[in-house]
Structure 1
Amino acid sequence: MDEIVFFNPGDSIGNFHDHNEAVKTAQIYKQKQEADKKVVVVHGMNNQSFDIFFADDAISHVNENKAAGSAEKPYKISDEL
């Protein structure tokens, strides 16, 4: 997937250097904590790490005022769970 989305890095559920570890952790988190919420594993544009976010935390035109003043960063979606 080459979809680019913006997230506030402070909303990250976890940060990993290994893609497989990030996906595995996201699957476990989703199963144990928030089964009804979509979780995404994203890859930072300028680094080699992977982050986990709730898909609802993506910054869009609808919620950009809420995110005003935050240091949002662009990410590429790697996996959606």
Structure 2
Amino acid sequence: MDEVVLFNPGDSIGNFHDYHEAVQSAQIYQERHTDAGHVLVVKSEKGEPSFDIFLAESQLGNGQTGHAASERYQISKKL
């Protein structure tokens, strides 16, 4: 079952077209920022395949779903 989440694209740590490169960058980020919490690699639901890296704490909650800049993403990997 896929989990769909909302993020503000401006909060992205990085954007990649290659899934493996995105995962590798997320792992490096997590190793260097051990206090950052969970790092998520997510796939955009629109357009060409694109993978972004977000901190789990940046996820927009139910009260923020109407935020104009929010986009839907599908979680690909949680670190």
How far did residue 70 of structure 1 move? Answer: 4.2
Q: Following the alignment from structure 1 to structure 2, what is the Cα–Cα distance between the partners of residues 22 and 69? A: 26
TM-score, L = length of structure 1:
0.86
Query: Match of 1:46?
Result: 46
Q: Please give the alpha-carbon distance, in whole angstroms, between the structure 2 residues aligned to 1:42 and 1:69.
A: 19
Name 1:77's counterpart in structure 2.
75
How many residue pairs are counted as aligned between the two chains?
A: 77
Task: Quote the Cα distance in structure 1 between the aligned partners of 2:6 and 2:66.
Answer: 12
Unaligned stretches of 5+ residues in structure 2:
none
Separation in 1, partners of 2:59, 2:25? 19
SS at match of 1:25: helix
- Percent identity over paired residues: 49
Q: Where do 1:1-81 residues align within 5 Å?
A: 2-33=2-33, 35-36=34-35, 37-47=37-47, 48-61=49-62, 64=64, 69-81=67-79
Deviation at 1:50, TM superposition (A): 0.1
Runs of 4+ with deviation above 3 angstroms: 67-70
What TM-score results when the alignment is normalised by the length of structure 2? 0.89
Q: What residue ranges of structure 1 are gaps of 5+ in the alignment?
A: none
Q: Encode CA deviations 1:14-62: one digit per residue, 9 max, x unaligned.
A: 00000000000000001012x1311000000013110000001000125
Relative to its length, the structure with more helix (as a share) is 2
